[in-house]
Chains A and B, each alone.
Chain A
């Protein structure tokens, strides 16, 4: 089967690259093995959150100071602002409305109540532009009875630490109570499936209105809008006080919705999305990949002019660690990782961990290497890349979006 570009991996970076290429008229196939880690995303994108443990205020300035092996440095610090704008409008075209800009980070609120620097946040989720000027003084934190994926006390404590006056209120409705029969399934994504009808939303709104009292803002967990944001907007219209959502523990409704929206947009542009299939091997002839084989299409390899590795990091199996080594399992391209296993991790789970920076080695155009030689038509994008640390630097989603767009430009031969 012949394509212009074959992308291995159907998460944030793979879909973004696929959309950018399909928009320009390319025939693109994405091989997506299972759902992606985008389902863990609570509704924010980060460009660069921290350097050496210090929060970054102006990401574009901080990016210029990153070391040469960071993916942003390979793209070129001067292009980041432009690519960031492009990413924001691509997301909006897919129906993902986010606020923020690359000139100045804002703060997102984690499910544990911690404020972290962010670049973009869904416009119906709570965010703080300036910690010295909170968007509200008194907030009502609405806690859903029987819902465990929101550590409410920690969240309230965190919000109070930021300077909010927080009133915790517990509520339920008949629809929510019915769900409690299966406590292990009482998750954000299950709530989102049941809170869809106008009457169910009205019952939630009645509770919020009667409990809110005299506050400036009502916060509730992000448990609405599995397919689109209609349910969220409907509830916001029914609640008298300004209503904003707070990220929940994963799987997150916002992430699930963004994944579906991007996939839908990619298909609308004529893209081929092979759901539940995975790239298993490829053939490399000299300096070029000539085909990719997948688990499901077996003896019918996918052929293309360009190939993109967007298979993610360890959790998505784009990288594999066994007892001996860290490797890239599809094409066996070179990885940047310590050979000595003792150096992969260090004591203290919250300490910076070396393995978080591991990934495939690339040249300055993000092309993969095999035994030190550049493979001309194989680019790597997103979490599979080495030289960045989504956990400690807060650059994971930004690297996914921007490397995807940069590679789409080089595949199309843009300057």
Chain B
């Protein structure tokens, strides 16, 4: 009997395992706020049965999918529902030309390079009402959005000028994939990581060559460019891991998820040999502490009440635990763990005029729970969640690495880890 039956899955996304239980539909943030979207079960495995017969069954409402992966987290049968949807989208749109707006939004590094050069002008202009109105009407970038402020000095420039030469002073070595946000918008996060790692006796190095991870390129259909940049990144990461024996740390959950999990699925980039060496810094640090290899000593007078928001991709990786447990080590920090809800921004999705209202409706449950938590600030591992929560709640949002760095007693930590600077 067995010879005549299909014993293994033929698909790579567990398509065959769907039992039609509909549990995925209960967690979809998009279907919860709009009837335009058919929901993950219909858009994913159910629709896929038709698309396998004839690709013409592709439904253009699939572009409403945020790719938040909450359906996959909820699925009791391990079906990669969002992958099915995203791959269908890719098959249907590969080769189409992206609009100017989408190309601009997707090229976070290009936009960043230009904006850094003229940061004061860019920050002032992008924030002005006339500019916003032009962007809103001509470019269809929603007028409620403010582009994150651009830094005058890139992180890499700061690193080369102020940190690089000191990075042979310690016993251990890691590489850092900083991502566009740290490089162009918020170098402080990268500086915080260097401060933290150095205090633990770890030198931080940049990769040979780093490009934007491409998460926004994939979301906006620029697959070819994403594949090219992805290959460059994985080549550099591979050199760091195999040539230099350095793990690659990150501080953005979305870049991390993209490079580890989306590269092979969406871009056909084989990262199997280095995947385990790409890791969020919080995971790396937590494990060092857990294994007793390093100690973190925090300031006595630090006192703060914060909420932790689990970004959707963070939950998909299942790594929120590391950030939460690390922050719980700070004696003066009163940390509230929020129920996992999507904030609605999903990278560039919420910047688009046609998505603005939906984006805010999706996030409303999260914003309400933040308000009810009565905290001074919010921590999260994703920069686009940060923009969304800051805009929607008015509270400051920080990466857990910055929270740790601020609370750290650097001298005591260096002493506790026997760190002696040898230069």
Q: Which A residues lie at the B interface, using CB under 8 A?
A: 1-2, 33-37, 39-40, 178-182, 184-185, 187, 189-190, 193, 250-251, 256, 260, 264, 267, 272, 274-277, 294-300, 315-317, 322-323
Contacts and interface: CB of A to CB of B under 8 A. Distances in A.
Contact of A294 (B22, B25, B316, B318): B318
Interface string B318-352: 11010001000000000001011000000000000
Contact of A182 (B39, B287, B318, B321): B39
B23 A181 contact: no
A179 B316 CA distance: 29
A236 B122 CA distance: 55
B276 interface: yes
Given A276-B74, A299-B276, A251 B32 contact: no
A295 B318 contact: yes
A300 B284 CA distance: 11
A-B pairs with lowest CB-CB distance, top 3:
A296-B318, A276-B73, A34-B76
Interface in B116-138: none
B42 A184 contact: yes
A350 B321 CA distance: 44
B2 A39 contact: no
A275 B37 CA distance: 25
Given A178-B35, A250-B22, A300-B287, A317 B76 contact: yes
A250 B276 contact: no
A39 B35 contact: no
A179 B321 contact: no
A274 B276 contact: no
B77 interface: yes
A316 B115 CA distance: 51
Interface of B: 1-2, 5, 7, 19, 21-23, 25-27, 31-32, 35-39, 41-42, 46, 72-78, 276, 287, 290, 315-319, 321, 325, 337, 339-340
A11 B21 CA distance: 16
Contacts of B321: 272, 274, 297
A36 B23 CA distance: 9
Given A275-B340, A297-B321, A187 B77 contact: no
27 contacts: A1-B325, A2-B290, A35-B26, A39-B23, A40-B21, A178-B35, A181-B35, A182-B35, A182-B39, A184-B42, A185-B35, A187-B22, A190-B31, A250-B22, A251-B22, A251-B23, A272-B321, A275-B315, A275-B318, A276-B72, A296-B318, A297-B321, A299-B276, A317-B76, A322-B7, A323-B1, A323-B5
Given A35-B76, A190-B31, A193-B32, 18 more contacts: A2-B290, A33-B76, A35-B75, A179-B35, A181-B36, A182-B35, A184-B38, A190-B25, A190-B32, A256-B26, A260-B339, A264-B339, A267-B337, A275-B340, A297-B321, A299-B276, A316-B76, A317-B77
A237 B319 CA distance: 44
B73 A275 contact: yes
Given A35-B26, A187-B22, A274-B321, A182 B37 contact: yes
A297 B337 CA distance: 19
